[in-house]
Amino acid sequence: MKLNNLTPNPGATKKATRRGRGAGSGLGKTAGRGHKGQKSRSGYASRWGFEGGQTPLFRRLPKRGFNNNSFAKAYVEIPLGKLQAFEDGTVVTLDSIQEANILKFPKKNDGMKVIGGGGEFNRKLTVQAAKFTASAKEAIENAGGKAEEV
């Protein structure tokens, strides 16, 4: 096999449609654009949401109302495997994690949520967090530690 013998599989390549090349091509004269109108002109490009001059749907709908998302609590999620860095008997809080530089997280939050995963966990720690997943709580207690919700 040589490079000059390589060919694409049959049907893998297709010739580009050449528009406006005579009536016999099937796409001659208007080249599939129809007669007159904005879409038949060169340079036509419709912007997002354009409805031919009619007021677009996104402008017709009201933009007011209440959304509860602004009041949702934002927890910093910490995988259990990251807590492996602490020594046995340590009390782990959000501040201690920040001081140990284990995870980078934003200043504004409503506490931390310890989630399972992130590697093996076998430390006897007292973890103080706002929330725990069931698997994380179970893993902490199985290792001989405590999971305290604060």
* pLDDT value for 104: 77
Both structure tokens of 146 = 């405590």
Q: What is the mean pLDDT of residues 28-57?
A: 92
How would residue 27 be classed by pLDDT, with cut points 50, 70 and 90? very high
Candidates 1.20.1250.20, 3.100.10.10, 3.40.190.10, 3.40.50.1000; CATH matching 74-149: 3.100.10.10
How would residue 108 be classed by pLDDT, with cut points 50, 70 and 90? low
Q: Name the residue among 85, 109, 110 with its Cα closest to residue 97.
A: 85
Gyration radius of the chain's alpha carbons: 31
Average pLDDT score, the chain:
91
* pLDDT value for 95: 87
Q: What is the mean pLDDT of residues 54-71?
A: 90
124-144: pLDDT as tens digits? 999 999 999 999 999 999 999
Q: Which residues pair with 54 in a beta bridge?
A: 51
* pLDDT value for 52: 87
Neighbours of 84 (CB within 10 A): 15
65-87: pLDDT as tens digits? 888 888 888 898 999 999 999 99
